[in-house]
Every structure is written in structure tokens, then in C-alpha cells.
Amino acid sequence: MPGKVNPDELLAHVFGRTGAADETVRQGPAFGEDAAGIDVSGAEGGGTLVVSSDPISLAASQVGTLGVHVACNDVAASGADPRWLTVVILLPGDGGESSSKPLEEITRDLDAAAGEVGASIVGGHSEYVDALERPLLSLTAMGRTERFVPTSGAEPGDRVVLTKAAGIEGTAILAADFGDDLVADDETLERARTFLEEISVVPDARVLRDVATAMHDPTEGGVVAGAYELARASDVRLEVDRDAVPIREETRVLCEAADVDPLRIFGSGALLATVPPDEVDGVLADLESTGLEAAEIGTVRESDGEPALELGGETVADPVEDDLYPLWAAQDE
């Protein structure tokens, strides 16, 4: 299926092939871990350098904005403020006058989005590639933190918190890339397009990072995939109440029109966190005081050797495909 490489392939071909051993690596490649952690305590400023890379490969609109926020979200979800970015931009075409317009749009959006999160673009690469049908971006984000928060830190008894709502990025993509084909009123589509302005979880992570045992931002596959990845990384079972997951009306309308599950579409904009039970009320109040929606949606349980997600009676024990992939495939036919 399209999307992320499955865990078995990662284990067989990726995780054991990491070059030279380095004792300063606090967090290396592992399933569900979207960022590396490098001990820089001996350098000025100290702490842990958090590094994460992400592509934008299928979205057709505002790819520069998406790229910055998706990469920076992984750094934020590990407890750091994103500070530096490198960007690889691959463009379709031959570099003629007509094919340079996407470069202008992408770099304009990159500049604006990086400024919003307080990150500097410090390097990268760009070129034209005949084989491409749409722009392809890959960004690396970096930042430093005194408290590295892994995806693998969830403990039995913790509560599961979700900020904002499910399917924020996916809703914006549905409106931007498929709006002409969906049965939805113009006002709903226009509101949905503005969801792209909310996909940063940097503010969310700043509230949660001092108390969360684990954090993970759900990207492709949405809340379902994100919760499954957190469960597998932490070797626990997550029990999530589907009815407790916040879903905005615009998301419900567009997902119904597209016949997709709001919990299985791109979820950037929300942040999953596991929090000790005695910290939940305080965290929810702190998030609310900063203007961020949030809800307690589940509980962490012992895995008994079988990490998985329990979602409203459904057991999710395998990787999840995003419901938007078939829509893109049909669009390209």
C-alpha cells in the first residue's frame, strides 16, 4: 500500500543499518519515533538536539506551508522548539519560464511558515526532474530541548490526550484538492481550507512537554495511525473512546461527502500525548487557557506482549493506510 514503509521492512532493512556507533545518539531510528535525539550537553546551550525529516509528496496545494509545519511538528512533539530547517525542492519540468512559477509559490510559503514558527531556513537543494508530475519536498527540522520526549514513553495508567481535533490537515486537503468534486456548500469548503492555518502543534507541545510521558503528532493515517504507532513504540495497549475524539463539523461534512473516515485522514494539527492521571485536569486547563481545544480520549494499558490500539471495540494491530490515498490515485487516473 502507499505510504509509510511497514514495521517488518523497517526492522529487516533499516533499523540495523545506521553506520558508525555514536554514544551521543540518545534516540535513533525506531518505529513510531519521528525524530532523532543527539546529546549536545557538551556544547554551548547544551541539552538534546532534536532532528526530524519529512517529505510532502502528494498534496497539490500549499506544499511549502505543509512541509514546514509537518517537519517542525515532529521536533515540537519531541519537546523542542524548532529553530533550523533545510529544504530539498524537486520540481516537475525543465526549468523553463512556465515551470518556475511553482518554485516562487513554494519558497514564498516556506518563508512565511518558517517565520510563523520561529525557524530559520539555513540550506537545502532544488532542481527540476522530468519524471515528476508534481512538486516533491523534503524538509529537515532541528531544535534543542532540555527534556526529550519520545513516542515510546507511555506508561500503563497514563491518560491519552488529543489537542484540537481529528483530521485537521486532511480536511484542508479535501477542500483544496478535491473540493470541486465534493457535495458541500461553499461556506463549509472555505472554512475547511482555513484549517491549514492550524496544523502547527508547536504551541500545543509547549504546554504538554513538561508533563507528557510520550507525544506523537498523527500525520498520514490520522488519529488511528498515530495512536497505533504510539502504542507500538511504547509496547502498550491504548484504549481510545472513538466518541470522545473531537471532530469538527466541517470535517464530518467533507469526510461524509468523500466517504472517508475522519480518524483515518491526515491528522497534522492535532497532538497525541500520554499524561499521568494526576496531571490531566491541569494540562487540559492550561491548553484551554492558551486557546487550544483538547480532550481526554483514552487510557494506556499493559500490552501483554501484543501492543495495539483498541478503538471503540475495534482492535488495530497493523499499520493503517490513509483514506486519502485512493482519492489521489483516482485523481491521477
The string of pLDDT tens digits covering residues 121-170 is 999 999 999 888 889 999 999 999 999 999 999 999 999 999 999 999 99
Q: Both 230 and 282 in a single domain?
A: yes
Q: Both 170 and 219 in a single domain?
A: yes
Instruction: Name the helix (H) or strand (E) containing 108.
Output: helix 101-117
In the predicted model, what is the mean pLDDT of residues 61-84? Answer: 94
Residues in the chain: 333
Identify residue 288 by its one-letter amino acid code. E
> Crossing angle for the helix pair 168-178 and 249-258, nearest 10 degrees?
50
Q: Both 122 and 166 in a single domain?
A: no
Q: Both 227 and 107 in a single domain?
A: no
Q: Both 198 and 301 in a single domain?
A: yes
Residue 74: domain span: 7-11+20-145
Measure the CA–CA gap between 273 and 290, rounded to whole angstroms.
17
Is residue 61 domain-resident?
yes
Is residue 158 domain-resident?
yes
Identify residue 224 by its one-letter amino acid code. V
pTM of the model: 0.91
Q: Count up the domains in the chain and report the number.
A: 2
- Last residue of a domain, which of 95, 117, 145? 145
> CB-based contacts of 94: which residues, under 8 Å, 6+ apart?
128, 130
The single residue listed with the C-alpha cell 492550561 is 286
- Last residue of a domain, which of 94, 116, 145? 145
Q: Which of 110 and 16 is assigned the larger pLDDT?
A: 110
Question: Phi and psi of 5, rounded to 5°?
Answer: -65, 140
Regarding beta strands 36-39 and 48-56, do their DSSP bridges make them parallel or antiparallel, or are they unpaired?
antiparallel
Measure the CA–CA gap between 163 and 157, rounded to whole angstroms.
19
Q: Both 129 and 173 in a single domain?
A: no
57 forms beta bridges with none
Write out pLDDT tens, residues 37-56.
999 998 888 899 999 999 98
DSSP class of residue 17 equals -
273 forms beta bridges with 161, 215
Write out pLDDT tens, residues 163-174.
999 999 999 999
Question: Distance between terminal CA atoms of the chain?
Answer: 17
pLDDT at 287: 98
Any idea what the CATH number is for the domain that residue 175 is in?
Answer: 3.90.650.10
CB 220 within 8 A of CB 266: yes
C-alpha cell at 314: 475495534
Is residue 1 domain-resident?
no
Q: Both 132 and 234 in a single domain?
A: no
Rounded mean pLDDT of the chain?
93
Identify residue 196 by its one-letter amino acid code. L
